[in-house]
Amino acid sequence: MRRDAPAIAVLLLLALAPFAGFGEGHELTLLARGMIFGIGAVSLALLVGGAGLASLGHAASLGFGAYAVVVLDAAGITSLAVVLPAAMLAAAGFSLATGAIAIRTSGVHFIMITLAFGQMAYFTAASLSAYGGDDGYTLYGRTEVWGSRLLENRLAFHYLCLGALAFAWGLCRLLLASRFGRVLRASRENELRVQAVGFSPYPYRLLAYVIAGALGGLAGLLLANSAEFIAPTYLSWQRSGELLFMVILGGLGGLHGAMIGALVFVGLEDWLPQLLGEHWRLVFGPLLILSVLFLRGGLAGLPATLGGLRRG
């Protein structure tokens, strides 16, 4: 269980954060955003770190979750009991349909085909004039829980996001340690070996892709509720790239890396503009490049990297 300690520590810190100086509106919004992208990044880490599938279209599954909220909102349905399964199923369905094709490819082809599917989803969202098209859609209320407007309460929303993050991490963590996960991990290391002992990796990879998609849908639902506004840019390939970056920034050594990567990424995105004004990206970009160059294990591997330096 020592391997789980960092992830549990991060979750505990997030649970305490509202009472430890991060209880203001802006800070809670930021933390929620970090946790939501944390869910997206953890589910992507299941694919990248676990199954060796570097998807550049993961934002589309968040988009499907978010647009499920929009479509239902426009139809007057705002109950979480409907919206939650709808968001996760919509994203899982998209992942199943696109993954069934994408997973037949590998390497660069897989990256390009997931990118293409993601962009298709983006342009589709942009053309949905009933839901605002390019301009996006404003939600006039958050999703309701058994008829109550519980999620309007910032603290309640904070803990909902935390619970969802803990769920996503716990699920992916269990999956990777199971028989199913062993086949995934083995296929990442040596596909030929896995086939030679009698496994076809395809159904395992496809299922992982669908599960990651469903978790992306969950993140999308929360994202829509957090911002109370949804635009097609949520689905764009730049957003997929950011998710991938969060995973790599955090480190592929474990799922907690993706969590840390997402929180740090979202934090920097907020903090650097305050510090540096409008040209903050001039610093942000090189910072990300430097982190890839010098933090081989990502932020999660930082203690080991520093330990290695000290020993020379």
Partner 1 sequence: MADPLLQLRGLQKSFGGLRVTDGVSLDVVPGEIHAVIGPNGAGKTTLINEVTGRLALDAGQVLFGAEDITHLSMAARARRGLARSFQITSILPGFSVLENAALAVQARQGSSFRFFRPVAQDAALNIPALAALEAVGLRDRASLPAGALSHGEKRQLELAVALATAPKLMLLDEPLAGAGPEETARLIEILLRLKQDYAILLIEHDMQAVFALADRISVLVYGRLIATGSVAEIRADAEVRAAYLGEDAEA
Q: Which of 197, 275, 293, 309 binds partner 1 (CB under 8 A)?
A: 197
Q: How many CB atoms sit inside 10 A of residue 91's CB?
A: 32
- Asked if residue 179 binds partner 1 (CB under 8 A), the reply is yes
Instruction: List own/partner pairs for 17-20 with CB under 8 A and 24 or more apart.
Output: 17/158, 18/155, 18/158
The region of 4-12, 41-49, 199-207, 263-271 touching partner 1 under the rule CB under 8 A is 199-207
Q: How far is the CB of 141 from partner 1 (least distance, A)?
A: 36
Q: How far is the CB of 81 from partner 1 (least distance, A)?
A: 25
Binding flags for partner 1, 115-154, as an x/- string (CB under 8 A)? ----------------------------------------
Give dist(CA 292, CA 286) in Å, integer.
10
Q: Which of 120, 167, 182, 302 binds partner 1 (CB under 8 A)?
A: 182
- Asked if residue 304 binds partner 1 (CB under 8 A), the reply is no
R_g (Cα) of the chain, nearest Å = 19
Q: Which of 5, 100, 177, 276 binds partner 1 (CB under 8 A)?
A: 177
Give dist(CA 42, CA 244) in Å, integer.
10
Q: Which of 7, 151, 165, 207 binds partner 1 (CB under 8 A)?
A: 207
Q: How far is the CB of 207 from partner 1 (least distance, A)?
A: 8
Q: Which of 137, 204, 234, 237 binds partner 1 (CB under 8 A)?
A: 204
Looking at the DSSP bridge assignments, the partners of residue 145 are 148
Q: Which of 5, 190, 286, 289 binds partner 1 (CB under 8 A)?
A: 190
Residue 227 C-alpha from the chain's centroid = 16
Q: How far is the CB of 209 from partner 1 (least distance, A)?
A: 15
- Asked if residue 180 binds partner 1 (CB under 8 A), the reply is yes
Among residues 111 and 175, whose Cβ is nearest to partner 1?
175
Cα–Cα distances in angstroms (integers) from residue 300 to residues 34, 94, 177, 253, 263, in the given order:
16, 31, 19, 7, 12
Q: How many residues are present in the chain? A: 312
Q: How far is the CB of 272 from partner 1 (least distance, A)?
A: 36
Q: How far is the CB of 30 from partner 1 (least distance, A)?
A: 34
- Asked if residue 296 binds partner 1 (CB under 8 A), the reply is no
- Asked if residue 245 binds partner 1 (CB under 8 A), the reply is no
Binding flags for partner 1, 156-175, as an x/- string (CB under 8 A)? ------------------xx
- Asked if residue 272 binds partner 1 (CB under 8 A), the reply is no
- Asked if residue 284 binds partner 1 (CB under 8 A), the reply is no
Cβ atoms of 225 and 156 within 8 Å: the answer is no
Sign of CA dihedral 301, 159, 229, 79: positive
Task: Kindly list the residues in this chain that would bind partner 1 in the complex (CB under 8 A).
Answer: 174-175, 177-183, 185-186, 189-190, 192-200, 204, 207
